[in-house]
Copies of this chain bind each other. A is one copy, B any other.
Amino acid sequence: MKLTKEQSQEIKDQQSQQNKTKRVTAPELEKILYEAIPVLDHGFIRVIDYMGDDTSIVQSARVSYGKGTKKVSTDSGLIKYLMRHWHTTPFEMCEIKYHVKLPIFIARQWIRHRTANVNEYSARYSILDKEFYIPKPQHMSGQSTTNKQGRGLNLSRKDTEKFLNILKDDAERNYKHYEEMLNEDQSGEVKDDNKQGLSRELARINLTLNTYTQWYWKIDLHNLLHFLYLREDAHAQYEIQAYAEIILNKIVKKWVPHTYSAFKEFQLESYNLSKTAIEIIKKKLKGQKITFEKSGLSKREWDELSFKFKFK
């Protein structure tokens, strides 16, 4: 990730603000406010603004449940209770706003999370940066043979090199043609004053899906956790996991540490047993022998369950 001078200066200016407020603040999050945390080769995530902290969740839960919550004496205890019982509305009372730079193919997955606010850089108005996501060699994996949507073994070194060259060459050629059709370069400088460029909204259709875009993305904490639940998961595409991992461990952890712990304990690292699986576990705890054939599970379910609980 390389920031332009202009961007670096803007970040410095934003970080040098010293405002007074009566609102609650999250001091650990304030320390990294506006900072561009690098992701992938050219991407970044910046926290631009936030509202509330762990105490805000507690505060609104106590409004809902009134005296009913008095007995749960600690904030951390109440947050655990809420998370465990899927009482989600108190977590909606916190909000965070990010500035994200990300490849378009990732943006397309990300945007599927509808309960969020987005302002994306518009390539109808302005010229996209000349930046493309090119995977690292170790991420150039083949199609998984077991998981229809995932990656399997790495390719040969030769193919990896060859394919990386294809990705680079095609992205660059297409971008060069983009500038040519626009009759402008990426800084907006007109190339040939005697010529008219193709409209931006059309010229951009020549770009590849690994071109970087950027947006402001604002979301409440409950919906953010749901995003992380799906995108920090091993089944998500590696490139979006990379963003989710940073949001979870570098940002949410600093912002709402009690929520972070409760989320890991009761959701992220929890395991859902189906009705049939519950019965199997109960029988095994009583010492009964259960085989796949008598389990009532599909092969896939049985394999997953027996692996998870280390059936001999």
Contacts and interface: CB of A to CB of B under 8 A. Distances in A.
Interface of A: 14-15, 17-25, 30, 33-34, 49-52, 56, 59-61, 63-69, 77, 80, 84, 89-90, 92-93, 95, 97, 99, 103-105, 107-108, 111-112, 114-115, 117-122, 124-127, 133, 135, 139-144, 148-153, 155-156, 159, 163, 166-167, 170-171, 173-174, 177, 180-182, 188, 195-202, 204-210, 214-216, 218, 220, 237, 264-266, 269-278, 281-282, 284-286, 298, 301, 308-311
A64 B17 CA distance: 24
A170 B173 contact: yes
Number of copies: 4
A19 B146 CA distance: 40
A14 B64 CA distance: 19
B148 A220 contact: no
A270 B275 contact: yes
Smallest CB-CB A-B distances: 8 pairs: A66-B126, A68-B125, A68-B148, A92-B117, A269-B275, A205-B210, A60-B119, A51-B51
A95 B114 CA distance: 17
Contact of A200 (B21, B64, B135, B143): B143
B142 A197 contact: yes
A252 B15 CA distance: 27
Given A21-B30, A117-B93, A166-B177, A49 B56 contact: yes
A283 to B, nearest CB: 10
Contacts of A309: 278, 281-282, 285
Contact of A25 (B19, B144, B207): B19
A15 B22 contact: yes
Contacts of A33: 22-23
A310 B284 contact: no
Contacts of A177: 166, 170
B65 A148 contact: yes
Nearest to A126: B66
